[in-house]
Amino acid sequence: MTLSFNLLLAACLAYSALLFIVAFAAEKRARAGRLGILRSPLVYTLSLSIYCTAWTFYGAVGYAARSGLEFVTIYLGPTLVIVGWWAMLRKLVRIGRAQRITSIADLISSRYGKSTALGVLVTLLAVIGTTPYIALQLQSVTLSFSVFTDGGVGDETSTGLWVAAGLALFTILFGTRNLDVNEHHHGIVTAIAVEAVVKLVAILAVGAFVVWGVAGGPTAVFALIDASPIAQWQMQQGRWVTLLLLAATAFVCLPRMFQVMVVENTDETHLATAAWAFPLYLLAMSLFVVPIAVVGLAVLPAGSNPDLFVLNVPLAFDKEWLAMLVFLGGFSSATSMVIVAAIALSTMVSNNIVMPIWLNARRGDATLSGDVRNVVLRARRLSIAGVLALGYLYYRLSGGGGALAAIGLIAFLGVAQVMPALVGGLFWRGATRNGAAAGLIVGFVIWIYALFLPGIGTGTVMSAQFLADGPFDIGWLRPRALFGIDGLDPLVHATLWSLGLNASVFVVVSLLGFPGPLERLQGSEFVNVFRFSTAHKGRSPTTAEAEDLLMMAQRILGAREAQALFQATAARQGKDGYLPDVTSDFLERLEREMAGSVGAATAHAMLGQIAGSGAVSVADLMRVADESAQMMEHSIQLEAKSEELGRTARQLREANEKLTAISIQKDAFLSQISHELRTPMTSIRAFSEILREAGMDRETRDRYAGIIHDEALRLTRLLDDLLDLSVLENGQINLHETDVELTDVIDRACTAALSDGARLTIRRVVADERLMLHTDADRLTQVFINIIANAAKYCDAPSPELRITVSACGDGINVDFIDNGGGIPMAQHAVIFEKFSRLGQTRIAGAGLGLAICREIVARLGGQISYLPGQGGAAFRVNLPQARFGAHAVASVA
Amino acid sequence: MPPDPPRDAPLFLARATYRRRRLMDAARLLPVVGAVLFLLPMLWFVSGGTRTAVGGLYLFAIWTGLIVIAAILSRVLVRGEAGGRGRDGPDAAP
Amino acid sequence: MGKRVLLIEDEPNIVEAVRYLLTREGWAVDTHSNGATALDAVARRRPDVIVLDAMLPGRSGFDILRDLRTAPDTSAIPVLMLTARGQRRDREMAEAAGASRFMTKPFSNSDIVDCLRELGGHDAA
């Protein structure tokens, strides 16, 4: 071949680099909030194309060359499912979004009462079913490499290893960048969309070349087909039905398909576009399969591998560049499948296996200490590496042999075992957890016994004698002739028994059993998702402290998201600050948000540790039982009304409390002013009278004069503060706004606040502070000095420490000051920013005007200062508007 | 003389709702029809079988038909949903 | 000779001034600056007169006075109450709690010296 191995490798690397860039750019756009095309129906449709793996890219032609038209069932099944989107996929996507489903294992677990056991079961099934599939992709990439190198230059196993390692790297980089609240991986989805285009273009190019370049037009192709070994359609009816069913099922149940279709879905209406656009994609992918197959059969030497016709046909006509395109197309098919499968599996493993174990191991304290996000992310990264390692191992052990299609179909039937539990869960409220588990186990065992183990290859696990006579010569247990049904195609046979018994056991056990309260509640939520998608109550009121919940939520959702959620909820309840009332609605919402990160079962268990058992109340069950839509409507209206009344009452109560507090404070303010003025005055008056008398030594005289001086200064300072505050409060302040870097302001404040030798350690991340602000630097410094000096004064830890963190937040930035002391009791959060509200009885130098002044200054600077609960120590957050870079840039250009 | 709008409106709405319901039925039915048509070739083999070229043409024709119908149905359904959600849907009628 | 006065006040400079003034007048001056432990200090020092600030860290002067008046062995000790807030309510509260005299800061040196002389003398008579 004229294409050198090195050139091929270079193309491969360049293409991978391109994907990295695409993924990176998409992530960046998404982060900046400019989603645009990233969430268009086109990208969604193209991302679904990971259904077409290397198996379909190379294998479809091989399949057609062996068995004629049967290959097309693999595409027809999904077509039927997606054109029927209104019936099922729409419901699935709606549930996925409403319940924050993270994977298919999570869906099953969530539907059947947030059961951990079911989650584990489905995860295991998915891992076992997907591993051979990943091996298949690695094999196809190495195989296509070897076509170019004639098996000579590159060592095949090392190629596989490099591909696996590269894929692991890519997936970890873009799949576990952050623990996204809704598990959207914009970078990866966009890269996959690009790959989808590449593989379609590649296959269409070969097709067009074959039809018009080789055969000489469509009519000639038909003649060629009629002249080929596959001219007669040899349909095996049993396989035809089975394959249609399996492909349709797999399209929904394959972990990677569920990932792109449900989890990554950003808009339900995208499904409507995909309903016709995706079948169109599939049609285009399979349009030229038969022509390529017949041309391959006609042109290539007998005995050449039909799975590589797509590559070998262009090469046979010396079209190296076309072959290169095909190679990249195959590479795309393989890589995109592996990446998404690895993400989907790692999510399942981390949420359904690692998290429950971790939670169990740290019973009790898991909710309040330790970094959950890091545990989850690390678990995901390890799982990705693990899944790819498994795939590579399988590829090495299986020797990379066997027709591609066989492995693919074995995997299809494996994941299809989820179907009865899934469909039952979506449409039948009577489906129970025990039924689902029993059905899954039965189907799983039969699949392993009747198809998976025999499929690995005769003699590896099951001997030929075992296959022929059954275990212990028990005839009706023969893996390929269960219960004496002999003579069927092995795939049809295994499908019949595994899915048939799976569904039957599922239904029978469900009919006989009785579901638990949470199962019934979830069942109703799922089945009636279109009816009840607004009102639901999953928990009875609890005594959980909002602050504890916030502490936990921060460690799962991330500080910013958790604070935003709490603040928004509090605002909706008509409260200021970060701590809403802990209502059952709020708990429900929180649990759902958390489920988006760690899965339904784990979120439920974690919340349960804080908020109590999460028992379902009688009222909840009555709601489930109550089918009458009108009653429902009426009670919802009443509920909304009473909720509104409650909210108004709460607002009034809060306003009243505030007014009373203010009036008390006004009195207190006057007497405080009086006290603060008279105290230094007393010393001044007493000593000045003493000084007026004669007969005192010089030393005493100097000391008394010094006291008078100090007290006079104290008076001046107090008057300055008062003036400052009154000027600020009246808004007669002149701001000298300049562009200044945040880190400079903090530097100055730290130096000034700690100049008198306070023993306070300050921890900062200077890199985060490199932000430009357009603000009055002196005033801002004054605020920071005040907060830092307060921490130095009041922090009661043995070795006081102050953490200053800076984070972007929408248009502004948050500067958080968090010390490691005992914090401020909740009852005082509301008053610390008022004048003279020094904490407790203890009197400490300073008039207690500091925070009041800070609040006024920050308000003038267009920001906000607040107390941040749930951080361990006392924590203050200063929120500031950031300089508008865009505006500056435009101004300087113009 | 134009018809009295208040009396006409409910009738129109009911009809629109009715049409929409039937469209939903059609959307649910579509995969069933597709499945039957894709399984139909099984009957051909009772009497001897057929050529790959003919079978392929048949399958791809059905396939194309499904795509076209699905495209039309989903356009109408999505537009209906958007119109139903909004307070006033001036372009509800195509 | 040498009557004992206990000065309960937390401002160090005021303590210093009053101590200077009273020592010069022949008083034995003890001082205490914490409200919470003021009663113990009274029990320990057994002063003839007490000068008590109204606003102390730990406990308010009015509360301390109330306790002094209810305990039998301190109920008779004359108490001069000092306050820096200067509101009429404070004076009323001080009287209700049983203060012998009441002074608003800032005071003139001669006022406090006279007042103490009076309280001490009254006690002796």
Looking at the DSSP bridge assignments, the partners of residue C52 are: C8, C81
Q: Could you give the angle at which helices A419-427 and A237-253 cross, rounded to 10 degrees?
A: 60
CATH number, residue C102: 3.40.50.2300
Query: How many CB atoms neighbour CB A37 within 10 A?
Result: 12
Q: Are B39 and A244 within 8 A, CB to CB?
A: yes
Output the pLDDT for position A504. 92
Who's near A495: CB < 8 A, 6+ residues apart? A242, A245, A246, A413, A416
Is residue A28 located within the same domain as residue A81? Answer: yes
* Amino acid, res. A251: F
A679/A785 same-domain check: no
Give me chain A's average pLDDT, please. Answer: 78
Instruction: Look up residue C60 and give its amino acid.
Output: S
Please state, for a pLDDT cut of 70, what percent of chain A lies above it: 81
- Are A674 and A756 within one domain? no
Task: Assign B47 a pLDDT band (cuts: 50, 70, 90).
Answer: low
For residue A682, the domain's CATH number is 1.10.287.130
Average pLDDT over residues A186-195: 86
Q: Which residue of A has its CA nearest to C87?
A: A671
- Tokens representing A247 are 């492909």
Please tell me the least confidently modeled range out of A473-487, A641-655, A846-860.
A473-487
Q: Ranked by mean pLDDT, which of A452-466, A524-538, A725-739 comes out on top? A: A725-739
Q: Do A84 and B55 lie within an 8 Å CB cutoff? A: no
CB A839 within 8 A of CB A828: yes
Interface contacts (A, B; CB < 8 Å):
113
Element (H, E) at A670: helix A629-692
Same domain, A505 and A565: no
Alpha-carbon distance A417 to A432, whole Å? 16
Put simply, whether B59 touches A (Cβ < 8 Å) is: yes
User: Same domain, yes or no, for A85 and A155?
Assistant: yes
Mean pLDDT, range B47-73, rounded to an integer: 85
> Domain with A129 in it: what CATH number?
1.20.1730.10
Res. A540 pLDDT band, cuts 50 70 90: very low
The whole-number pLDDT of residue A278 equals 92
Q: Of the residues A691, A712, A729, which one is the last residue of a structural domain?
A: A729
Q: CB neighbours of A510 closer than 8 A, spacing ≥ 6?
A: A424, A428, A430, A431, A432, A434, A435, A436
Residue A726: predicted pLDDT? 78
- How many residues are present in chain A? 894
Give the pTM. 0.65
Q: Which of the residues A667, A672, A678 would you substitute to probe the C interface, choosing the one with the greatest number of C C-beta atoms within 10 Å? A: A678
At A308 the pLDDT is 82
Residues A567-604 pLDDT 10s: 888 887 777 777 777 776 777 777 777 777 777 767 77
Given a cut of 80, whether residue A372 has pLDDT beyond it is: no
Angle at A124 between CA A118 and CA A126, to 5 degrees: 100
Last residue in a domain, options A681, A711, A729? A729
When pLDDT is cut at 50, 70 and 90, the band that residue A465 belongs to is low
Report the gap between the CA of A709 and the closest CA in chain C (Å): 12
Query: Touching C: which chains, 3+ CB pairs < 8 A?
Result: A
A280 has pLDDT over 90? yes
Which residue in A has a C-alpha nearest to residue B62's C-alpha? A76
Q: Would A624 be classed as within a structural domain? A: no
CB C60 within 8 A of CB A843: no
**Cβ–Cβ below 8 Å for A231 and B50:** no
Give A-chain residues touching B39 at CB under 8 angstroms: 240-241, 244
Q: Which domain holds residue A818?
A: 737-893
Q: For residue A68, what are the contacts with CB-CB under 8 A and spacing of at least 6?
A: A230, A232, A233, A234, A290, B52
pLDDT beyond 90 at C88: no
- Closest Cα in chain A, distance from residue C19 (Å): 11
Residue C123 has pLDDT above 60, yes or no: no
pLDDT of A536 reads 42
Q: Which residues 6+ apart lie within 8 Å of A280 measured at CB?
A: B67
- Domain end among A595, A612, A629: A612
Contacts of A686 in chain C (CB under 8 A): 14, 17-18, 21, 106-107, 109
The closest of A191, A193, A205, A200 to A16, measured between CA atoms, is: A191
**Upstream peptide bond of A825 is cis (omega within 30 degrees of 0):** no
Q: How far is C69 from chain A (nearest CA, A)?
A: 23
Residue A815, classed as helix, strand or coil, is strand
Q: With 90 as the cut, is the pLDDT of residue B92 above it?
A: no
Q: Count of CB contacts below 8 A, A vs C?
A: 66
B17-34 pLDDT, tens digit per residue, is 777 788 888 888 888 988
Record: contact A76-B38, CB cut-off 8 A: yes
Q: Select the more confidently predicted residue: A335 or B91.
A: A335
Task: Give A 706-725 residues with CB within 8 A of chain C.
Answer: 707, 710-711
pLDDT at A181 over 60: no
Q: Note whether A413 and A424 are same-domain residues.
A: no
Chain B contacts of A293, Cβ < 8 Å?
A: none
- Nearest chain A CA: its distance from C106 CA (Å): 4
Give me the residue label for tokens 């010094």.
Answer: A706
Residue A468 lies in a domain: yes
Q: A765 and A723 in one domain?
A: no
Domain that holds residue C91: 4-124
Tell me the three state secondary structure of residue A774. strand
Does A375 fall in a domain?
A: no
> Does A411 share its domain with A496?
no
pLDDT score recorded for residue A848: 66
Contacts of C34 in chain A (CB under 8 A): none
> Strand pairing partners for A864?
A879
Q: Is B27 on the interface with A (CB under 8 A)?
A: yes
Pick B63's closest partner by Cβ from A79, A84, A230.
A79
Using the predicted structure, report yes or no on whether residue A870 has a pLDDT greater than 80: no
Contact residues for A333 (Cβ-Cβ < 8 A; gap 6+)? A52, A53, A54, A56, A57, A137, A140, A195, A199
Partners of C29 in the β-ladder: C5
Which of A527-531, A789-793, A838-842, C42-46 is least confident?
A838-842
The answer on pLDDT for A281 being more than 90 is: yes
- For chain C, the domain total comes to 1
* pLDDT at residue C5, rounded to an integer: 92
* pLDDT level of residue A617 (50, 70, 90 thresholds): very low
φ and ψ of A233, to 5 deg: -80, 105
- The pLDDT value given to residue A4: 66
Q: How confident is the model at residue A8 (pLDDT cuts 50, 70, 90)?
A: confident
pLDDT at A73 over 60: yes
